[in-house]
Homo-oligomer: A and B are copies of this chain.
Amino acid sequence: MNYLSLDDAARKAELDALYAEYNKIKDEGISLDLSRGKPGADQLDITMGMLGVISHSNDCFTETGFDCRNYGNLDGLPEAKRLFSELLGIAPERIFIGGNSSLNMMYDTIARAMIYGMGEGNTPWSQQGAIKFICLTPGYDRHFAICETFGIDMIPVELREDGPDMDVIRELVQNDPQIKGIWCVPKYSNPSGTVFSDEVVRQFAALKPKAPDFRIFWDNAYAVHDLYDEKVELANIFDLADEYGTTDHILYFASTSKISFPGSGVALLATSEKNMEQIKKIVSVQTIGHDKINQLRHVKYFQNAKGVRRHMRHHAEIIRPKFEAVLTALREDLADTGVARWTEPKGGYFISLDVTTGSAKRVWNLAKEVGVTLTNAGASFPYGHDPYDRNLRIAPTYPSLKDVKAAAKVLTLCVRIAALEDLEANK
């Protein structure tokens, strides 16, 4: 039933029917949650073997005889760098292994730029007046929160099917010296699942920014997080940047938060040798080193890139049905209505759902009232402000499959109600 072509009477009848359904669910007193991009407990269970791989003193030494239990080794174990090098296609000398959080490494990177300058010899960002970041939307709320806390102005640019419009990006970056960075989740972008095309990645590498201290924050959070056996390949930004001589522009982040354990994984920052020199100099004052026993756990457990990919197939087996349950509900209940569109990601942790303009908050409230928690409407936009109030981020991984199915049905019901209410109000 296409909602847009209903006459008044038919719309009224449909809305009444949906309200009846809604009230019935309300009476059931459910409590479901599609808001959190967290692995489910069943996913966490598959990595438990990692916690046992280091239990005796003899297990604690690296291949060169370094005792991981003691101080030292600022930038990460060589074997940990090698593992990620193989997995991500980045030269080991460009990799810094950090603590448990890539978000923390991003925040710290910006804090360093504020205080010391981004790149040796450049003026600290805090002394350059109002600076700006380009924020692809919809995007990752925590990226935007970092900008907000540092007082960095955000310029939203729409993320399209294969990445942003690079003409727009180029125009901005090449002309405005106050633009110091752009946030990218280039593969299975949060929340749309977008994968940047080879051409988009090439054009990122080819950027000639006006600001000498401009950086591309390449948050490859879902580098190996495929839902299907058929892998989606992302072009290697370092290879292309090397070709264009722009490697200093690249700040690449990744972590095992959704490979091993969120909160007890291993994060990394990769960048040019020149940038790395400045980073190491500062970080060597900040800390004596990160948790190397945990790095070694990851190396011993996964062994190599193949081991990680094998492990990721287990994750996919668990979460793929959850994604498909949501997509099935969206297709069955909304495809004909003409009042919603959504992405069908091949990986990552989210589905992006666009409802009718001005209805996202209403959908969120309708769902909330009936016991289904969604990510706040607007969360995927700078300052939490969706200019069209239409986007919702759906996170299907954390609840059980049964709960995902139930929550998705409630979601589609709320979308239909909000759309009809909107049509009714604007008739």
Tell me whether A48 and B41 are in contact (CB under 8 A). no
- Interface readout for A20-48 with B: 1 if CB under 8 Å, 0 if not? 00000000000000001011010011001
A256 within 8 A of B: no
Tell me whether B56 and A48 are in contact (CB under 8 A). yes
Say yes or no: A38-B261 contact (C-beta < 8 A), given A107-B285, A115-B126, A294-B291: no
A259 CB to nearest chain B CB (Å)? 13
- Residues on the B chain within 8 Å of A67, using CB: 41, 44
Chain A interface residue count, Cβ-Cβ cutoff 8 angstroms: 54
A10 within 8 A of B: no
Q: Nearest chain-B residue to A261 (Cβ)?
A: B69
Tell me whether A261 and B293 are in contact (CB under 8 A). yes
- Residues on the B chain within 8 Å of A290, using CB: 99-101, 263
A426 within 8 A of B: no
A404 CB to nearest chain B CB (Å)? 17
Tell me whether A70 and B38 are in contact (CB under 8 A). yes
A358 within 8 A of B: no
A200 within 8 A of B: no
Tell me whether A100 and B103 are in contact (CB under 8 A). no
Q: Which residues of A contact B (CB under 8 A)?
A: 36, 38-39, 41, 44-45, 48, 51-52, 54-57, 60, 67-73, 99-101, 103-104, 107-108, 111, 114-115, 126, 142, 145-146, 148-150, 257, 261-264, 282, 285-294
Complex Cα distance, B234 from A324, in Å, reads 61
- Residues on the B chain within 8 Å of A111, using CB: 111, 115
A115 CB contact (under 8 Å) in B51, B104, B115, B288: B115
Say yes or no: A262-B71 contact (C-beta < 8 A), given A115-B114, A290-B100: yes
Tell me whether B264 and A291 are in contact (CB under 8 A). yes
- Residues on the B chain within 8 Å of A38, using CB: 70-71
Q: Nearest chain-B residue to A267 (Cβ)?
A: B287
Instruction: Give the number of times this chain occurs in the complex, counting copies.
Output: 2
What are 29 pairs between A and B in contact, CB < 8 Å? A39-B70, A44-B70, A51-B54, A51-B293, A68-B263, A69-B261, A69-B264, A70-B262, A99-B100, A99-B290, A100-B290, A103-B286, A107-B285, A107-B286, A108-B286, A111-B111, A111-B115, A115-B126, A145-B285, A146-B286, A148-B285, A149-B285, A261-B293, A262-B288, A263-B288, A263-B290, A291-B291, A291-B294, A294-B294
Tell me whether A57 and B44 are in contact (CB under 8 A). yes
Tell me whether A142 and B45 are in contact (CB under 8 A). no
A180 CB to nearest chain B CB (Å)? 15
Tell me whether A55 and B44 are in contact (CB under 8 A). no
Tell me whether A293 and B107 are in contact (CB under 8 A). no
Tell me whether B263 and A71 are in contact (CB under 8 A). yes
Tell me whether B285 and A115 are in contact (CB under 8 A). no
A103 CB to nearest chain B CB (Å)? 6
Tell me whether B69 and A262 are in contact (CB under 8 A). yes
Tell me whether A287 and B103 are in contact (CB under 8 A). yes
Closest 9 CB pairs of A and B: A107-B286, A104-B287, A264-B293, A71-B262, A44-B69, A149-B285, A101-B287, A69-B261, A52-B55
Q: Nearest chain-B residue to A60 (Cβ)?
A: B44
Given A51-B55, A111-B115, A148-B285: 18 more A-B contacts, CB < 8 Å:
A36-B71, A38-B70, A41-B70, A44-B67, A48-B56, A51-B54, A69-B263, A70-B262, A71-B257, A73-B263, A99-B99, A99-B290, A99-B291, A103-B288, A111-B111, A149-B282, A262-B288, A264-B292
